[in-house]
A and B are shown apart, each in its own frame.
Chain A
Amino acid sequence: MRENAIITKDLKKAYGKQDAVNGLNLSVPKGSVYGFLGKNGAGKTTTIKMLLGLLSAKSGDIDVLGFNPKNEKEAVEIRKRTGYVSENQKMYDNMKIKEIISFTKSFYKTWDDKAAAELLKRFNLDEKKKLSELSRGMYAQVALLLALAFKPELLVLDEPTGSLDAIVRRDFLESVVGMIQEEGRTVFFSSHQINEVERVADWVGIIDRGKLLISAPIDDLKTKTKRIRAVYKDNAPDVSFDGMLCKKTEGRELLAIAGDFNDTVLSGIKKGKPENVEVYDMNLEEIFVAYAGGKI
Chain B
Amino acid sequence: MRLYLKDINELSPWFLGVCLAAIICDKYFKMQIDLLLYLFALVSGSIIFGKESESKTISFLEALPVTKKRIWFSKILNTLSVNLFLVGVLILYFLAKNNGHNYTMFCGKGFLPNVSMLFNITSFSVLSSIIMKKTISAIFGALLGLFLFHSFFGLVFLQAQSVFIFKGKLAVEFISVLYLMSAVLCYYLSFKLYTRRG
- Which residues does A use to contact B, with CB under 8 Å? 52-56, 72-73, 75-77, 79-80, 84, 86, 89-93, 103-104, 106-108
Contact = CB atoms under 8 A, between A and B. Distances in A.
A55 B198 contact: yes
**Interface SS, B side:** loop
B198 A90 contact: no
B60 to A, nearest CB: 5
B63 A92 contact: no
A111 to B, nearest CB: 11
Interface in B116-136: none
B64 A107 contact: yes
Given A55-B197, A56-B197, A92-B6, A107 B57 contact: no
B57 A91 contact: yes
Interface of B: 1-2, 6, 55-57, 59-60, 62-69, 197-198
A107 B65 contact: yes
A294 B68 CA distance: 41
Give the top 7 A-B pairs by smallest Cβ distance, nearest first.
A79-B65, A56-B197, A90-B56, A80-B65, A106-B2, A107-B64, A76-B65
Interface core residue of B60, B63, B69, B198 (most chain A CB under 10 Å): B63
Contact of B55 (A52, A54, A90): A90
B60 A89 contact: yes
Contacts of B67: 72-73, 75-76
Contact of B57 (A52, A56, A90, A108): A90
Contacts of A92: 6, 57, 60
A55 B62 CA distance: 11
Contact of A108 (B59, B62, B63, B65): B65
B197 A89 contact: no
Given A54-B63, A92-B60, 14 more contacts: A52-B63, A54-B59, A55-B197, A72-B68, A75-B67, A76-B67, A77-B65, A79-B64, A80-B65, A86-B59, A89-B60, A91-B57, A93-B55, A103-B2
